[in-house]
Amino acid sequence: MKKRIMLVLVLILCAALLCACGAKEQTKYQVIGTSLPTQNLVVGPTNVPAQDINFDDGSYDPTLEEGEVDEYVPVVTAAPTVAPTMRSEYAGATPVIIDPIDKPTPSPVPPITFSHQVYDATNIHLSFEAPAGWTIAEPSANTFVLSNPNQGVDYTASITITASSVSSSYNTSDLKRVVNDTLDSIGEAGFNEFDPTNTAERTLLDSKGVYANYTGELSGNIQVAGRVHAVCVNKVLYVVHVTYPRAYTETYKEQVYDHLRDTIMVTQ
């Protein structure tokens, strides 16, 4: 009987000890759980004891969390917007103002075309082909002028050729001077704006010549353009000046100037 009583007492004592241990262990884990930060954390690998993680001393490696998430989903925050950078070669560059897309454009002009005829400029001993029906004038013994009787775009196109005897043959430098002097005289004849180009070499009358182009604005906003070409042949200096409405520049270059240059010849 005494042995049974002792056995019961031992069993009761063991049960009491087990309950005490269980309560102590539960309290231990509760303390550890409440000591963790309240941030959105991801459970780390199972081989790293939770009670050994220290988030403040720099020893914690967040990469250990990769690939081990089973029960928790990490909070994903959007990447901050990166401010645009400027390429170093453009740093400090001045912005260029771009014309608006709806900027007014000049009204297109109706196309024109020319038929040609031979003109004998006997006073300067030349013959050439130019637009048919143009008005002839000989204001001096060494000048021959053709004018378009149809003004077209508020400006009368014309061809003026002068022939002057000189004491010696002109080289390229001499011809450049002649062309630039001629451009200066043209620009002083009532232009509000006058913009000549640089000179360039080109043959005329089968000899090496020099020419230049220009654009300009006359009173009343009249836009004009032209070309001056000089050449010296057998000690005779020839200067050809073709002028026309600027809107028809390509037409006059191709159908008037180029055709004259291809057909002009000395007749004596």
Question: Domain ranges in the chain?
Answer: 2-65, 116-266
Report whether 192 contacts 219 (CB < 8 A): yes
Residue 177: is it exposed, middle or buried by C-beta count within 10 angstroms (0-12/13-18/19+)?
middle
Question: What is the per-residue pLDDT for 82?
Answer: 56
Q: Is the CATH number of domain 116-266 3.40.1000.10?
A: yes
| Neighbour count for residue 162 (Cβ, 10 Å) | 17
Q: Name the residue type at position 103.
A: K
> What tens-digit pLDDT sequence spans the chain (268 residues)?
555 666 656 676 666 655 555 545 554 444 444 444 444 444 444 444 445 555 455 554 554 544 444 444 455 555 555 555 555 544 444 455 444 444 455 567 888 899 999 999 999 999 999 999 999 999 999 999 999 998 666 689 999 999 999 999 999 999 999 999 999 999 999 899 999 999 999 999 999 999 999 999 999 899 999 999 999 999 999 999 999 999 999 999 999 999 999 999 999 7
Residue 58: is it exposed, middle or buried by C-beta count within 10 angstroms (0-12/13-18/19+)?
exposed
- What the block records as the tokens of 172 is 């390229």
Which DSSP helix (H) or strand (E) runs through 184?
helix 172-187
| Neighbour count for residue 131 (Cβ, 10 Å) | 23
Number of H helices, E strands in the chain: 4, 11
Report whether 191 contacts 217 (CB < 8 A): yes
